[in-house]
Structure 1
């Protein structure tokens, strides 16, 4: 991932994320939620494509990459990244990330 930042989830766990693209005031951000075995780096190719028109956030799910543990609080983690992405942000999930996105909705 590019420059990695962190947000703090509700239980105090640090969640690592990176932002791609400048975004535009008339377009919502997009948050990519990867599958369980990988890290946010897996979403970088899609993030770079989407960054042409949106601000895109990829993050390390709990227990992966630069994010902390335990695994049972992932909906709160996604909420923290969505807060960093701003109002109206969209979510795209693959594999178990899709299940997580649906649970958060």
Structure 2
């Protein structure tokens, strides 16, 4: 794991992929059911990108499982640079920006 043992994207099939297959659905049928793009869903299921909030929520409702059971830790981690990112670099940038805003 990179970034001081922070989980990264695995590029491996996620538990959600196997749950969808076990339910007898295809990725394209599931994408239509939860109203997201096929490529968006497929890339999230294959661990290539982090699933969007819509994918996490809708897939969780469809399969009746918590998002933490459907995706690994690297897929659920907040993207770098976001308000939720907890890496030292992003935290420092937010601190500096807030400090400069107060000084103005």
Q: Same fold (TM over 0.5)?
A: no
TM-score (norm 1): 0.29
Larger radius of gyration: 2
Q: Which has the higher helix share?
A: 2
The structure whose RCO (Cα within 8 Å, separation 6+) is larger is: 1
